[in-house]
C-alpha cells in the first residue's frame, strides 16, 4: 500500500457515500510512541487506561507523573497507532501543556508542539502516526492506521462527527471509520468475527458500532441514499 493508493481509497468512499473530497486535505507526521501516548493522554481520549488517571485534561495533568511512572504507561508504549491533530485545537492544547509541573515533560511537549504547528502547512487536520519499528509495522501503518486517521479527517471535513454532538457518542465515530475500512476490503461479513475476537473493551466497541452502520446502509443502493441515512442518524442524536 502506498500513500497515493490510500488517497484513492478515500476518494472511493467519497464517491460511494456522496462526500466532498480533496486529496490535499490529507497529511501525516511520524512521531514516537512516547509522544503518541503523552499527547493522547492529555486530550480527551476515552481509553479506559487514561480514564483511570482523569476524566478530563485538567485531572490528567495533575496525575501525569503518576501515569508516567506506572505500569500502564509502560504497557501503552508497546502500542503503535495514530490520532488526528486539529489546527483549531492547538492553542488549547498548548495551554494544557504549560500547566504541566514536570519541567522535563513540559519542555518535551512544547518543543513537539512547535514542530507540530509547522507541520500543518495549510491543512486543517494532521494524522499523527507512530514511527514503525520494522517493515511489518510500516506496511500496517500505511495500509490501516494512516487510512483510518484520514477517514476521520474526511468525515470531519464533511461535518460528520458524532462527538461534536456529545462526547459520549465517540463509538459512532470509531464505528463508522471501522465500517469504511471493512467496506473497502469487502469484509463487512467478518465484523462479528473481529468483534468476538477482540478482548479490549474500547476496541470491541469499534466493531459493535461498525455492525450498526452496516445495518444502517443495508439496501441503500445510491450514494445519495447512504448520505441521507447518515445525516438522519446524526440529526436523531442531537
In the chain, which residues have pLDDT < 70? Answer: none
- Helical residues (DSSP H) of 88-218, grouped into ranges: 90-98, 103-119, 135-140, 146-157, 170-184, 191-197, 201-216
Closest CA to 200 of 110, 87, 79: 79
Residue 127 lies in a domain: yes
User: Are residues 91 and 52 located together in one domain of the fold?
Assistant: yes
Q: Which residues pair with 84 in a beta bridge?
A: 127
Question: So what's the pLDDT on residue 44?
Answer: 85
User: Are residues 137 and 47 located together in one domain of the fold?
Assistant: yes
Question: So what's the pLDDT on residue 1?
Answer: 77
User: Are residues 148 and 216 located together in one domain of the fold?
Assistant: no
Residue 10 lies in a domain: no
User: Are residues 105 and 127 located together in one domain of the fold?
Assistant: yes
* Domains held by the chain: number: 2
Question: So what's the pLDDT on residue 141?
Answer: 87
Residue span of the structural domain in which 217 resides: 160-238
Is residue 147 a contact partner of residue 9, using CB atoms and an 8 Å limit? yes
Question: So what's the pLDDT on residue 81?
Answer: 86
Averaged pLDDT of the chain: 95
Question: So what's the pLDDT on residue 50?
Answer: 96
pTM of this prediction exceeds 0.75: yes
User: Are residues 101 and 128 located together in one domain of the fold?
Assistant: yes
User: Are residues 49 and 154 located together in one domain of the fold?
Assistant: yes
Amino acid at each position: 500500500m502506498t500513500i497515493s493508493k490510500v488517497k484513492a481509497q478515500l476518494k472511493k468512499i467519497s464517491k460511494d457515500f456522496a462526500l466532498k473530497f480533496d486529496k490535499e486535505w490529507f497529511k501525516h507526521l511520524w512521531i514516537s510512541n512516547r509522544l503518541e501516548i503523552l499527547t493522547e493522554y492529555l486530550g480527551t481520549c476515552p481509553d479506559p487506561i487514561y480514564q483511570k488517571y482523569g476524566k478530563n485534561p485538567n485531572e490528567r495533568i495533575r496525575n501525569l507523573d503518576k501515569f508516567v511512572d506506572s505500569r500502564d504507561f509502560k504497557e501503552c508504549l508497546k502500542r503503535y497507532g495514530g490520532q488526528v491533530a486539529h489546527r483549531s485545537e492547538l492553542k488549547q492544547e498548548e495551554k494544557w501543556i504549560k500547566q504541566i509541573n514536570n519541567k522535563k515533560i513540559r519542555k518535551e511537549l512544547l518543543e513537539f508542539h512547535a514542530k507540530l504547528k509547522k507541520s500543518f502547512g495549510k491543512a486543517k487536520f494532521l494524522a499523527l502516526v507512530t514511527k514503525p519499528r520494522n517493515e511489518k509495522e510500516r506496511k500496517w501503518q500505511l495500509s490501516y492506521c494512516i487510512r483510518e486517521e484520514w477517514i476521520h479527517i474526511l468525515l470531519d471535513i464533511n461535518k460528520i462527527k458524532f462527538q461534536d454532538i456529545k462526547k459520549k457518542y465517540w463509538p459512532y465515530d470509531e464505528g463508522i471509520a471501522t465500517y469504511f475500512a471493512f467496506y473497502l476490503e469487502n469484509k463487512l461479513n467478518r465484523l462479528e468475527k473481529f468483534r468476538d475476537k477482540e478482548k479490549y473493551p474500547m476496541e470491541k466497541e469499534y466493531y459493535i458500532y461498525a455492525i450498526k452502520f452496516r445495518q444502517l446502509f443495508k439496501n441503500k443502493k445510491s450514494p445519495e441514499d447512504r448520505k441521507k441515512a447518515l445525516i438522519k442518524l446524526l440529526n436523531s442524536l442531537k
